[in-house]
Amino acid sequence: MPKDPTASSPGSQSSLREANRSRIIDAVKQFGGLTQVELAAATGLSTATVSTIVKELAVAGVVETETTSRSGRRALRVTLARQAGLVAGIHVGPRSLSVALGDLAHDVVAEQTLPLPADHRADTTLDRAALLVVDLLDRVGTDLDELLTLGVAMAAPVDPATGLLTVRGALRGWEDTPVAQVLSKRLARPVHVDADATLGALAEHRLGAGRHVQDLLYVRLSYGTSAGLVLGGRPHRGGSGAAGQLGHVQVDPAGPVCRCGNRGCLDTEVGENALLDLVRPALGEVTLRDLVRLARGGDPGSRRVLEDAANRVGQAAATIVTVLDPQLVVVGGELAQAGAIVVEALGESVRRHALPHRFAPVDVVAGGLGPRAELLGALELARSHTDVVEGVAW
């Protein structure tokens, strides 16, 4: 007969009951499904205590019980209650498509990333995204019936009223595609869309480098530059979903025409084309990914180009820091994969150009979630639209 901790252990009754509940839930999680007698053996609790707690957990909807037969005797088999459902996150990046399935406990249960060509087409990319969602559901042994909702991170700002991109040229060829409507028609589930930098900021705030702060600026250095804001613990999307377009801050009124139609935007100096033009004489035709890899490997020209770009972005970000006074600047996006070269150059530049603070100069750090921040943010967006998740900020 196993010793029953409820009978002999000191401590308050309620914390003991809580500890015993956890032991039982952990055992069911670990072994899948157990009879009450097996649960008693696995946890060291008496069968009477197990029976009482299982009844409470069943009423609370945490576990389910069914009558079964073991060695010819009737027994009550205990399993975890069927999960409340899954959510899907999609990140449509400039050169990649990532899809993930997550549960409501913030775990990712399946995930896949595919490369995309430059100027990928809206219809084929959304088609692949929908197929990938179905494929991942199949991989984890379920189907669309278990999918509650989807969140999509777009590499461009999205107008919540129309579901269309707010900045022409931000993602060429996608201007007239209502992303949420297309996917929701295809998968018969609600779809919520937001800018990837905003969702990167949200993910870093909830799960990554910004967990301890309420006001955060997320700078996303990618094929173009963008920013996401979390203010007072909530993502700030702006009046039309266009907040954070750091790459379209004008840095040279007489500069070249940007893809948005303005002149001299930051992206005309630090966007993909500008950076690749700078290294072409020395390195020939390389991709942005090559540039990051070369910089990590110590190539001086690649390092210099990324450092100078981070410095330039830091000057623009410093204006946001001066105006909004965030507690933390988090650096993400593909170029942040170059590591300290980029993060330190950006940090120095922000501190040099922002209003000097006597007591607490703003911290600039690398993202804690790496290149998955936007995808994890898309999952958070989807979760925030399920009515079973409490305390959401959306």
- Residues that bind Zn ion in the complex, under the rule CB under 5 A: 248, 258, 260, 262, 265
Candidates 138, 129, 125, 126; CA nearest to 86 is 138
Closest CA to 204 of 242, 243, 245, 233: 233
- Secondary structure (3-state) at 253: coil
Q: Is the Cβ–Cβ distance between 122 and 164 less than 8 Å?
A: no
Instruction: Round to whole Å and give the CA distance between 309 and 302.
Output: 11
Residue 157 or residue 210: which is nearer to Zn ion going by CB?
Answer: 157
State the CB neighbour count (10 A cutoff) for residue 253: 8
> Whose Cβ is closer to Zn ion: residue 159's or residue 325's?
159
The backbone region for 355, taken as left when phi is positive above 0, alpha when psi lies in -120 to 50, beta otherwise, is beta
Distance CA 122, CA 294 (A): 31
Q: How far apart are alpha carbons 351 and 387 in whole angstroms?
A: 42
Nearer to Zn ion, 260 or 276 (CB): 260
Least distance from Zn ion to the Cβ atom of residue 173, Å:
17
Quick check: 99 and 132 in contact, CB under 8 A? yes
Q: Which alpha helices (H) appear in the chain, and where do they start and end?
A: 5-8, 13-31, 36-43, 47-59, 122-139, 179-187, 196-207, 267-270, 272-283, 288-296, 300-324, 340-353, 373-384
Pick 135 or 252: Cβ nearer Zn ion: 252
Nearer to Zn ion, 265 or 338 (CB): 265
The nearest distance, CB 267 to Zn ion, in angstroms, is: 6
Identity of the residue, 94 or 208, whose beta carbon is nearer to Zn ion in the bound complex:
94
Nearest CB to Zn ion, comparing residues 264 and 301? 264
Task: Please state, in angstroms and rounded to a whole number, the distance separating the CA atoms of residues 297 and 64.
Answer: 54
Q: Which residues pair with 101 in a beta bridge?
A: 88, 110
> Please, what is the minimum distance in Å from the beta carbon of residue 335 to Zn ion?
18
Smallest distance, Zn ion to C-beta of residue 245, A: 8
Cβ closest to Zn ion, residue 170 vs residue 378: 170
DSSP code, position 341 = H
Are 162 and 171 spatial neighbours (Cβ–Cβ below 8 Å)? no
Main-chain phi, psi angles of 339, to 5 degrees: 85, -140
Question: E-strand spans in 163-288?
Answer: 191-195, 216-221, 225-231, 234-236
Phi, psi of 346 (to 5 degrees): -65, -40
For the bound state, the minimum distance from the C-beta of residue 288 to Zn ion, rounded and expressed in Å, comes to 18
Phi, psi of 232 (to 5 degrees): 60, 30
Q: How far is CA 319 from CA 144, 148, 217, in A?
A: 45, 40, 12
Instruction: State in angstroms the smallest separation of the CB of 264 from Zn ion.
Output: 8
* Integer Cα distance of 203 and 393 in angstroms: 12
> Cβ closer to Zn ion: 123 or 252?
252
To Zn ion, the closest distance from the beta carbon of 313 in angstroms equals 14
Q: CB of 309: closest distance to Zn ion in angstroms?
A: 16
**Which of 156, 366 has the CB closer to Zn ion?**
156
Q: How far is the CB of 265 from Zn ion (least distance, A)?
A: 3
Q: How far is the CB of 260 from Zn ion (least distance, A)?
A: 3
